[in-house]
Amino acid sequence: MTSRVLIKDLSAQDDGPVSVSGWVDTVRDQKKVQFVVLRDESGAVQLVNPRTTDADGVVVADEPATTISALSQGSFITVTGDLKHDERVKLGGIEIKLASVEVKSHAIAETPIAADSSLDKRMDWRFLDLRNPKQNLIFRIQTTFEHALRTYWVERDFIEIHTPKLMASASESRAELFEVDYFDTKAYLAQSPQFFKQMAQSAGLGKVFEIAPAFRADPSFTSRHATEFTSIDAEISWIDSHEDVMKLHEELLVAGFSAVKAKHGDEITALFDVEITVPTTPFPRIPLAEAKEIVKQRGYEVPRDDDDMDPEGERQIAAYVKETYDHEFVFLTDYASSIRPFYHMRHEGEPGLTKSYDLIFNGTEISTGAQREHRVDVLIEQATEKGLEPEELGFYLDFFRYGAPTHGGFGMGLARVLMLMLHQASIREVTYLFRGPTRLLP
């Protein structure tokens, strides 16, 4: 029996017997010849079956012609036949002349979604939506990107950790926490691995990373928010400032984008009409106060009661950076302590400013990073100032009572990076199965 060959590997095969499996994309059932486009997880190939006729030129109902005539789009089949290289064939310059067709699974003839279906409808039928080559490519890109990040970390002696997603108390605030029953008490789904990344610093692990789920009970319906998302996190010891974290962050992204461009650049251009640009280092860095002034000069003023940069401000500063530096990324630094978590270190002599940053990519925030406060007395003071009870943070504060190095790190949303990399309108497009305020299925 001929072993199954992936379609992407057919072009390297010599002419001769071959077997492929996949789902039926299209069928052209003509009088003298049948054509089938077969697609598997790696690509598509044209199958051809010349029809048999009798002495009077009448088409004979034989196999595999009868089976092909009954095929519906999406049916899974295994075929055998003779591979032939022919540059006249538009689909890859190869085709397979059929010898046999075995139907593994019949599909209902009328599919519930089409190319022009709404995003919500496509999400309802995500497994069918993912058969689209464009959607398939997204998750191969994601795999390459994550592998490049892990390679960067591992080659530099980082340690991968897996932190718990059930917590006894909040990691930042209770405003966006999912509360769940936990035996005879309550637990919370983790908003981030923040506390446990910092524990690793006190434990002497030095440099750690994690790629894992995080949860935010945020009733937002924007294109960039989800209630469950994949967070990319890193934390490092013995830093001098948040500048060390930014340097790590930009080097990591260069590694990820370089790998994606090298492996998928041509496909991305063909299917998304996007040219992947590997960012140059260092990324531009602009203090938040200065960024707001730049935005104001461009004709937009961030609301005065907002210590943050709002979405329109992010878009405006990104446009400025693109025009001025020809760069898709910018670090906005030195955020006000009023809007930052209690564990962000503050500038000496300027307690109103933190040693922190947001990373903006193509007009949207993808990450927050900072140097962390490692002095327990200062942590207690800043937590109390934020309205948190130090008693409830006891286990966390213990991390710093027995000696802790200076440290810092960041958390970054995977889906946002992919969405902006591929110029997609929503993170729903680049999330395998999206979760939002009104979506828990499929």
Q: Does 439 show up as a binding residue in the annotation?
A: no
Is 365 annotated in a binding site? The answer is yes
Both structure tokens of 22: 């996949």
- Find tokens 């035996």 and name the residue: 183
67 is in an annotated binding site: no
Helix H or strand E encompassing 223 = none
In 3D space, the residue among 161, 154, 157 whose CA is nearest the CA of residue 197 turns out to be 161
Does 441 appear as a known binding residue?
A: no
Q: Annotation-wise, does 6 bind a ligand? A: no
Provide the residue type at 360 as one letter.
I
Return the bridge partners of 358, or none: 332, 368
- 416 annotated binding-site participant: yes
Measured between alpha carbons, how far is 262 from 266 in angstroms, rounded to an integer?
A: 9
What are the phi and psi torsion angles at 95 (to 5°)?
Answer: -155, 165
DSSP one-letter code for 87: T
Answer whether 167's CB lies under 8 Å from 201's CB: no
Three-state secondary-structure class, residue 31: coil
Question: What DSSP element (H or E) covers 423?
Answer: none
Q: β-pairing, 207-215 with 159-160?
A: parallel
Dist CA 408 CA 266 (whole Å): 37
Indicate the SS3 state at residue 425.
coil
3-state secondary structure of 35: strand
Q: Cβ neighbours of residue 346 under 8 Å, at least 6 residues apart?
A: 337, 352, 353, 354, 355, 373, 382
**Residue 4 labelled as part of a binding site:** no
Element housing 74 (H / E): none
Which residues partner with 365 through β-bridges? 360
413 labelled ligand-binding: yes
Q: Is 368 annotated as a binding residue?
A: yes
CA distance 235 to 409: 4
Known binding residues for L-aspartate are: 172, 216, 368, 372
Instruction: State the binding site.
Output: 172, 216, 365, 368, 372, 413-416
**Binding residue numbers for ATP:** 365, 413-416
